Amino acid sequence: MKILWVKYIRVIVLMSLMVLSPNVSMTQETQAPHLIITPENVDDISHLLDYQSHTSRTYGIAFDLEGRHLFAVGENEGENFSVFTVFSLENREFRIPEQPQLRGLQDVQFIAGSLAIDETMLLIMNGNIVVWDILSDAPVGVISQNYSTITTHLGHRWILVASGETGLLSVWDIPSLPPSPTAEPPPPPPPEPPFDWIASLKGATQLDGPIADVGYDPVHGILVLGRDGNLHRLLLNEGFIFEHSETLPQEPPVGAQPQVVARDKDLIAFDSEQEWIAYAGSYQDVVVYDYDEGQQLLRYPVDEFVVCLMTSPNKDLLVIGDNGPNATLIFINTSTFEEVGRVNIGSFISDCAFSPDGTMIATATEVGVTSLWGIQ
């Protein structure tokens, strides 16, 4: 157990040594309230700011649940370490941890209501997922699964983890801990961490092929997108046994190349109430399936490979991000499933995210620049 936690003690130290970076500029206007992005005002979206995340490539970005900070993980080409950055949207401060001890970071994700803590961050690494308490700014546990690439929250204390290459799908139970008593900076870490738990495995299943993305629809079950372009819907019973329910039918497009992997994650989006789901069926188009009708609604072709697929917080927009040299965000009105606008990013992108209030979109580029977009 001590050996397992050595590198996470280093992470605690590094996060406590975060420093401010002066390399960020923002116009005064960007601090004014922004409008919620809707199908009617997509054409008014403009570029708000850029910041350099001190990486040559950014793998994943995420807003915290209150939309006050933007987190990013990435790495520098040719260097065997990762970079974790935090940008404050309120005071325009940019923090980076000391290097080179963070290794193998692939993504960052936020969940609510787990561990009896208001907000928890998951740092996805090579074979491990660090469970991080935002309030105390310290790790509280780890999920250990080889080749883990994608996670989603199933509610309560349960985290669904997929190992993309191997096709392994597992549910983990993270222990319930009391809330952090204070938001003040934590004291220097002791020689041994005050915790030493590892999440417990509740159930697992082995799929026939590699996994490109997973999602959880509370109404329709667990959604798994295979790298073959097929979307599978699974049910999880009370005994944490996976039940293979169905593979959603689709009409393959001419010239589809589902074996080409643009990325793992952010390739599924859905609206439980309106009974539809969208997914990157061939990585170069988006399939929209109607649960109520039990059929494919449309297939939306994209010129380049899809790297992110998301809905606005109020579900009235479906946003498709492609990964061409002049990457584009494509906005689809989900009441009609017609395109209502595009935003040209201007370079290859690796991820995108909507702010929780629906007023801003963040994009990460393959050259380590994170950009914010919105309506002034």
In degrees to the nearest 10, what's the CA dihedral of 189, 7, 89, 136? -30
pLDDT at 297 over 60: yes
**Main-chain phi, psi angles of 13, to 5 degrees:** -60, -45
The pLDDT of residue 118 is 52
Helix (H) or strand (E) holding 12: helix 2-16
Tracing tokens 């097929």 back to the chain, one arrives at 230
Among 58-62, 106-110, 182-186, 364-368, the least confident range: 182-186
Of 103-107, 278-282, 338-342, highest mean pLDDT: 338-342
Closest by Cα among 171, 71, 52, 79 to 119: 71
Q: Which residue has the higher pLDDT, 359 or 153?
A: 359
* pLDDT mean over 294-312: 90
Residue range 226-281, pLDDT digits in tens? 888 889 999 998 889 998 778 888 776 544 454 444 456 789 999 999 999 999 87
DSSP letter string over 133-154?
Answer: ETTTTEEEEEEE-TTEEEEEE-
Question: CB under 8 Å to 178, separation ≥6 — which residues?
Answer: 116
DSSP state, 365?
E
pLDDT at 343 over 60: yes
Tell me the pLDDT of the chain averaged across its residues.
77
Of 6 and 162, which is predicted with more confidence?
162
Query: Which comes out higher in pLDDT, residue 275 or 188?
Result: 275
Residue 49 predicted with pLDDT over 80: yes
What count of Cα atoms within 13 Å lies in the side-chain half-sphere of residue 90?
6
- Tell whether the model's pLDDT for residue 170 goes beyond 50: yes
